[in-house]
Amino acid sequence: MSAHIASAPTPRVVLVTGAGIGIGRATAKTFAAAGDHVVVTDVLEAEGRAVVAEIAAAGGKAEFAFLDVRSTDAVDALVAGLEARFGAVDVIVANAGIAHKVPLSEMTDEKWDLTLEIDLKGILRVVRAAAPAMKAKGKGVVVALSSIMGVAYGWDEHVHYSAAKAGVVGLVRGLGVELARDGIRVNAVAPGYIRTAQLLHPVNSLGPQGAEAAGAFIPMGRIGEPEDIADVILFLASDGARYMTGQTVVVDGGLLPGRY
């Protein structure tokens, strides 16, 4: 009687946007460590290639592709190329985003549109391109990045960012319902204060001193690390979250419950 030997799971193809730095970088490395093939995309080419090199050095599998999520043609071409090589993309982590401080008195249409084009419409473009092949395969996962600023936390001089991140919550809710019967799950993560270049920027966000001060009033006593978010994204893309869709999960160290 021969013993049954379980085969190793087939690596998933995971597309991560904005993966050159911050949460995207941590997420790419986390999925690669789990055995997946990660497609690292960003407009920051040097940073993106460095992430691929880090993954390869650790024994993982990854590749870099330059991608500006403002371009429908570029998104469609990238997804089509991946599908030609691998079949359907298994997991999309729609992370690409920007946050620029702009007072309402200086909020031009162009500044508003730039943030919405990247932070909200960029997610739509990637999902729209990948959804048909996911449907044909009968499964797929999307995890999008929102923010506590889009859930329950106002941020002065960032109304365009707050609006975009609130839009992500609605987009995920709608896509989660629309794609559920096709076997595609769509969820979002809403991070709180996370130690990223964006948060530490002294002009557009809290800056180093403000970030450390924020840690003092977060119930868990610290601001978050990119890996804190990456691990939740990995969970949402796993079979452990198989009955979750259309949801936005807040990961903020207890900030919102502790202040509201």
Question: CA 248 to CA 166: how far, in whole Å?
Answer: 10
The CB density around residue 107, as the number of other CB atoms within 10 Å, is: 14
Cα–Cα nearest to 14, from 58, 51, 57:
51
Question: CA 193 to CA 222: how far, in whole Å?
Answer: 9
Q: Give every CB contact of residue 84 below 8 A, 6+ residues apart in sequence.
A: none
Residue type, 251: V
Cα–Cα nearest to 48, from 27, 34, 75:
27
Max alpha carbon distance in the chain (Å)?
A: 78
Question: CA 233 to CA 15: how far, in whole Å?
Answer: 13
Task: Record the tokens describing residue 216, joined without a space.
Answer: 């003092």
Q: Catalytic residue among 153, 161, 193, 260, which?
A: 161
Cα–Cα nearest to 98, from 26, 194, 198, 248:
198
Radius of gyration of the chain (CA): 18
E strands within the chain?
A: 13-16, 37-42, 61-66, 91-94, 140-145, 184-191, 248-251
Catalytic site residue 161? yes
Write out the catalytic residue numbers. Answer: 161
